[in-house]
Amino acid sequence: MSKDNFLIYGANGYTGKLIASLAVEKGLKPVLAGRNSAEIRELATELGLESIVFGLEDEDKIVEGIEPFIAVLHCAGPFSITSQPMIRACLKAETHYLDITGEIDVFEFAASKNDEAKSAGIVLMPGVGFDVVPSDCLAAHLASRLPEADHLELAFKGAGGISKGTAITMMENFHKGGVIRENGELKKVPTAYESRKIFFGPKELMATTIPWGDVSTAYYSTGIPNIKVFTAVKPKVIKFMELSNSIGWLLKMEPVKKFIERRIRKSISGPSKEVRESGRSILWGKAYHNNISVEATLTTCEGYQLTAMTAVGSVEKLLNQRIFAGFKTPSMAFGSDFILEFEHTQREDK
């Protein structure tokens, strides 16, 4: 273990395993970490890697665990719970922090630590997976085409299912409603606040607003003060999302949350290898000012597959390039064309 190596925390989760396996395929030797000793050590043995075990309850223990490393790639959600102790420890240990979250609160917390990160000489870069690398790069690209834009809309259509971790994160945040950015400020709005048809490549699909990470990150990446993010969903799902505005109080109750979490852990396993390898995701974006607008679409591989690729790619770039310390979004650190470095990715301007 040395300060030129990196640590993957939460490597035993669905996405963590994909990331660790890809890192090894690329000739990297990260150290694996997490709180589940048996699972971490089994995976490390399988991949021929070193491992360490520690939880996130004691900050001194976290600092001790991560101090030998130049960077931590944090993959253990829900990030609304796990990110703050890890970020604080990274600031103390002077270790770069990356994660694969899409949670607005995490981005905002990391941004609030910008000055501390600069003083520590480290980069804080949450969101180096599907949340938010492709959409962040698309936002930055649109802003470069129309620098005077004051409104930004982004949308995506995924491919395949979701992992246990993603489902649990969604469950943890479902009762909070939606978020948009208006006049530079985050604004809480009802779930499924705005729904309409959006053209995703071959056809139009119904889409609705969600509190996706770009509501936070795109503002830092582009300076555009009004931002909404949509996802393609079936009309019946939109109806259920709208219903949640009335039963949000129920979803906050601990017995209900625990019941839902048990069901998630029993019934969700994440997209299969076949889906990951064959699936494609489509993103759309529009930036505008008055009657002037620019649009673009971005096609990528399936989201979890892309997350492994962009997460490992982000760590590689961070280790091999000089990135100025502080809070960074992926496009701030690597440029709007970063997403184009990955296979099955195509961008089309309109």
Q: Which of 49, 63, 57, 54 is nearest to 1 (CA)?
A: 49
CB-CB contact of 53 with 33 (8 Å): yes
Phi, psi (5° rounding) for residue 221?
A: -75, -35
What confidence score (pLDDT) does residue 277 get?
Answer: 74
Within this chain, domains 6-129+305-334 and 133-304 share the same CATH topology: no
Counting residues of the chain whose pLDDT is more than 90, the rounded percentage is 73
pLDDT digits (tens, 9 = 90+) for 16-32: 999 999 999 999 999 99
Report the 10 Å Cβ neighbour count for 26: 11
Residue 199, judged by CB atoms within 10 A of its CB (0-12, 13-18, 19+), counts as middle
Phi, psi (5° rounding) for residue 297?
A: -120, 155
Confidence check: pLDDT of 317 > 70 = yes
How, if at all, do strands 326-327 and 123-125 pair?
parallel
- The architecture of the domain spanning 133-304 is 2-Layer Sandwich (3.30)
- The better pLDDT of the pair 137, 162 is held by 137
Phi, psi (5° rounding) for residue 302?
A: -55, 150
pLDDT band (50, 70, 90) for residue 1: very low
pLDDT band (50, 70, 90) for residue 98: very high
Where do the domains of the chain lie? 6-129+305-334, 133-304
Sheet with 31-34, strands from edge to edge, namely 51-53, 31-34, 6-9, 71-74, 96-99, 123-125, 326-327
What confidence score (pLDDT) does residue 8 get?
Answer: 98
CA distances (Å), origin 152, targets 180, 219, 305 = 11, 9, 27
For 4-8, 168-172, 181-185, 200-204, which range has the lowest pLDDT when averaged over its residues? 168-172
What is the helix (H) or strand (E) element at residue 157, kind and residue range? strand 151-157
Concatenating the DSSP letter of every residue in 177-230 gives -EEEEETTEEEEE-TT--EEEEEETTEEEEEEE---THHHHHHHHH--SEEEEE
What confidence score (pLDDT) does residue 252 get?
Answer: 64
- Per DSSP, 290 falls in state T
Q: Please report where in the chains the tokens 């770039």 appear, as a residue.
A: 317
- Spatial distance between the Cα atoms of 210 and 155, rounded to a whole number of angstroms: 10
CA distances (Å), origin 199, targets 94, 155, 156, 276, 282 = 45, 10, 10, 23, 10
What confidence score (pLDDT) does residue 81 get?
Answer: 93
pLDDT digits (tens, 9 = 90+) for 182-233: 999 999 999 889 999 999 877 899 999 999 999 999 999 999 999 999 988 8
pLDDT band (50, 70, 90) for residue 234: confident
pLDDT band (50, 70, 90) for residue 3: confident
Averaged pLDDT, 98-103: 96
- The architecture of the domain spanning 6-129+305-334 is 3-Layer(aba) Sandwich (3.40)
Rg (CA), the chain: 19
What confidence score (pLDDT) does residue 253 get?
Answer: 66
Question: Which amino acid, 7?
Answer: L
CB-CB contact of 157 with 197 (8 Å): no
CA distances (Å), origin 218, targets 70, 153, 206, 225 = 27, 10, 23, 9
- Spatial distance between the Cα atoms of 316 and 300, rounded to a whole number of angstroms: 20
Averaged pLDDT, 314-342: 96
The pTM score is 0.91
Q: Please report where in the chains the tokens 């649109």 appear, as a residue.
A: 142
**What does the chain come to in residues?**
350
Average pLDDT of the residues of the chain: 90
- Spatial distance between the Cα atoms of 146 and 288, rounded to a whole number of angstroms: 7
Confidence check: pLDDT of 334 > 80 = yes
Residue 28, judged by CB atoms within 10 A of its CB (0-12, 13-18, 19+), counts as middle
Confidence check: pLDDT of 165 > 80 = no
What confidence score (pLDDT) does residue 237 get?
Answer: 79
pLDDT band (50, 70, 90) for residue 172: low
CA distances (Å), origin 198, targets 191, 249, 345 = 18, 31, 20
Confidence check: pLDDT of 175 > 80 = no
pLDDT band (50, 70, 90) for residue 101: very high
pLDDT digits (tens, 9 = 90+) for 42-64: 999 999 999 999 999 999 999 99
Averaged pLDDT, 306-322: 95
What confidence score (pLDDT) does residue 332 get?
Answer: 98
- Spatial distance between the Cα atoms of 25 and 32, rounded to a whole number of angstroms: 15
